[in-house]
Every structure is written in structure tokens, then in C-alpha cells.
Structure 1
């Protein structure tokens, strides 16, 4: 089969699309998938270079997010069958014509949901869903002010749309007027271009001097530090990633005087990507989230917007679009 394969840790531009890669082995509780779409991300870029917290054994086919059609099932699979249209998270191997994944983190998708859009359902929308609704995360309530950083990216867009579905008032922070217009069209109540305005002052103005009740933080560095200064008493901030490249050192005195809660979310932990494999312990909770997301999509509350769809052969250009921050929504490749 055709697939991108990593033989040694390197930049994406050094990889090649190979024409005769062996089909992946099908293990118990796994299904084989004819891949229809595979999203790319900054995490995938870091993983290829060996700079991510997770390192699959070499050689491997990159890609931990997939949508496609089930073509074969192994012993122990109890939720999927051959012919099902599915989307979700696998260990790796999505950037190929075929992939395998455990049934615990693959979810049936409606016939009317296009595969490129479905590929964003989990983990992009599932990540934002968990961050915004789980009790030990942001637990956003109707009427609260939600501040979303990196709002035009894959998980940021998801956070904006889910925040609106939950009844929150959403302030979206982006990097350009084009992205501000885009995210406003997807439901953000207010937008702030961080290169042109002090988002802390803007947030305080918009909230009447009180500050944000919940912060969805994807950037790190100064973005995180300034967020602490525009949060309401008793508010929450969730760390999703460090797209800005700097991991912040959190001043505990800020947390103390405003009773701020800091949490973090690595959805991969619940999907078998952590030090221990707990995917089957959490599959019902994740499946319920995906079912709720699918219902919102049917109601028109979620777009699952895809920014770019490229052939698998153009995977290098797809990654360039991701790393250059050109995308608004997800970038996917299709075999």
C-alpha cells in the first residue's frame, strides 16, 4: 500500500510517500480501516522530529487521527462492524491507504458527514468538548465569559463553536483580520487580534472589568501570563498546548489572590497514548461526548470546518500550511 513512513526522526519535508509499504497487522480488539482522510497537526510535526512526549517505534507511519470505512474486524470488537463509516483516534498509521485502530476510540459517523470533516470530530472537537464540559476541567456554564486563544485553529474553532452551543459568551483571540472575520462567522461574540491590540485590556473592557470566567489556552508563554491578568475571581484556565513555543512558569500568587483554578488536558491519555493504556476505562465517556457532538452537528451548531484538503502525495505541502499558521480549521490529506 502507499504510505508515508518515518525511518528516522526528521522534518516532514525529508519524508517520502512510499509505494509498497506492508499492510499493518490487525491485533485483537482492532479494526482495519480504508482511510478516507487523515488530519495533520503541529503535534504530528513534532512527533516526526522526535520532539513530542510520545515516540512510536521506528519505522512507523505517522497520523493518529483518521476517518474511513471499516473493512475487517478482529476478535473482541463489539461496537463496530465491516462497512461502518468511522472517525477517531488510532495509535499511528493514518497517513496511508489502510490503517488499524482499537474500537474503543473509533466512532460511527452519519452517512451525511463528509470524511474530511469527520476527521476533525475526534480529537479536535472531542478535545475541546472535554476541556469545556468535564467537571475537573473548565465546566463552562451558560452565560459565562469564555476566552479562546488560537481560535482559528482546529481545536480553537471547535472550542468557539462548542462554547456557543453551551450558551457561553465567547471572546476569540486570533492573529489577523482574516481570521477574525472567519471566527466571527463561526459564532464568536467578540474577536481580538493579538498583534494589534492588548487582549487583556480588551477582555476587561468586554466583561465590564470582571474578567473571563474560563480560558481555553493553546499558546503558552506570554499569552498564558496575560490571561491570568484578565480572569475573574473563581475562574478556570485550561492548558491545551504551547503553540507559541514557550512553556509558562505559573506564579502561584496570582492563583491565590483570585482563587483561580489551573488545569490541563491531554486527550491522548484517555486514548491509549499515556504511560498506561486506559482507553477502555474511558471509552463510554468519550463515546458519549462524540455522540453529543454529532447531535450538535446535525442541528447545525457545529461546522467541523476543514481548511484544506490535499492528496496524500502532497503531504509536505499540507504540513507547511499547518506550521505556517495559514489554516483556519483542520488540514487533511486524502489517499
Structure 2
């Protein structure tokens, strides 16, 4: 796949332009997006991502093989981004961020995520270009992450984790929000607000998710351009999707298990590919194991799409039929609403 510097420049410039437009058109003025607004923009960005995949297939020097890699990568990154949204939801509730300011936090968090992933993409591309054994490392990492994803406890709150306790010990923090300001001056001393702490927490979460997502998509394609564009399109519209499916997120009880299956599948795919291009002296004498099967991209795309669909449908069936699961969902939603209402009342008295 021949990507010229001009194509890279245009792609990055258009990506930045979209986020700049998002900020000035939707985020700069604090407000809570309506369901209609969120639905329209979510559909727009998903449609744009699908059109771009078709364009890749239509370009003569690229073709439908790369288009399949893009769609598989986009599906994987979108699923991981939705899992990311669930953690964002927990962070927002933990810091009691008023809904009218949540757009700004999400926007900054998504931009941080794109920057971090861009750095990881560049590092991953350099490693793959120079060290074929990195596929073994990526494969093992994804298998470990799949295990962690499957058995992780979803009740942990990043807003009260060790990292955030460390930040609070070293930064003077106010107890209340001051609109959407990140710092405020009191009695001649500069304090940081909970808004800044929320952004720091989300940035830390983004770093963790970048470690998951980049090796995962490099298991589906070795093209850095596809890795970048799939990640960019997965993150575009994520802010609107947060407000559109915020209530639904709590009902996706099998999302973690579905993602674990996807990560494990890609991990196995990476190890098989590593065996195919093996140059490690102490593995099979440094000889390539051409008998190792290569999983075709069409099967990867089908497997990932089916796994996401099964996890979503099974989650919705469980929360509908299981009263205890539904009750836990309602309790969590009530906690989030109560936190927002308490903060709104506090703002009204100030």
C-alpha cells in the first residue's frame, strides 16, 4: 500500500479540521446534547467511516484486500472505544461532572486518545518494520489483555484509584466546580478544580486503552495508514455516541467478555503470523514455519462482527430477563443522575 507524504499530510489535516470544527460548533458553548443531535452526528461519522472503507477498495493501488483490513480494524477499534466510553461514564460519575460540561471533558479526552494512539502507531510501525519477532510479543500481550479483560472487575472506579490519589496528594484541589475552569485562584493561591482531575483521569485511561488497541489492530493489518485512519474514525463521533447510548452502556454486561474473545482471537492470529515469518534463532532453529495457517482477513472481519453482535444481543437479553441485573443497572443510573443533580444544585447556590 503506497501512501505518499502528501496523502499523510491531507489525512492528518482533515482529521484535525474535524476535531477543531467539533470544538467550535458543539463544545465551546457548554450544553447537554439532545438525543436527536447525538443520533444525527453519530450516524454521520459512522457513515463517513464506511464510505472511507469503500474508497480504499476503489483506489487501484490499494484495493479491496486493504479495505477488508480497514473494516476489521475499524470494527475492533470501535468496540474497544465503546468499552472506553463505559470507563468514561464511571469517571464522570466518580467526579460528579455536571452534564453541561461533560462534552468538554470528552472532547479533550478523545484528542488525548488520538495523540497517544498516534505515538503508539509510529512506534508499532517501526518495530514491525525492523523486528519480525515483535509479532510474538504483541500476540502474547493480547492474550494477557484478553484474560484481564474477561476477568476484570467492572466496579473499580478510576476516579478513586491509586493514580488519582497520588495526584490529589501533590496538587491543591478545590472541592467544587467553577464552571468549566481547570484552575482557580483563591486567597492568592492557585488551585486546580475537579474538572482538571477528571481530564487527568481520562488521559490516564486513554493511555491504558492505547496499549490494548494498537497491538490489536496491528494483528489485522501491518499498514500504519490503515491503523491510523481506523483509529481516527473510531474516535470521531465518540462524544456524540456517549450521550446517545449512555444508558445502554450499563446494559452491555457481556461487552468485556466479547472484547476478550476478540483480543484473544487477534492474539492467536498474531502468533500464527509470527510463526510464518519466524526469524528467532531458538524457535524452530530460526526457520519459518510455513505450515502454520494464516487467518484470512475475510474470516477476521466476519469473526469480529459476529462476536460484537452476539455480545450485544446476549447482554440486552440478560438485562431484560434478569431482574437483579436490571436493578443494578437502574441503581448505577440513579447514582449518576443524583451526582449530576447534586452538582447542579450546588452551582445554583453559588
Q: For the superposition of Structure 1 and Structure 2, which TM-score range results when normalised by the shorter chain?
A: under 0.3
Larger radius of gyration: 2
Q: Which has the higher contact order (CA 8 A, sep 6+)?
A: 2
Q: Higher helix fraction: Structure 1 or Structure 2? A: 2
Q: Higher strand fraction: Structure 1 or Structure 2? A: 1
- TM-score, normalised to structure 2's length? 0.22
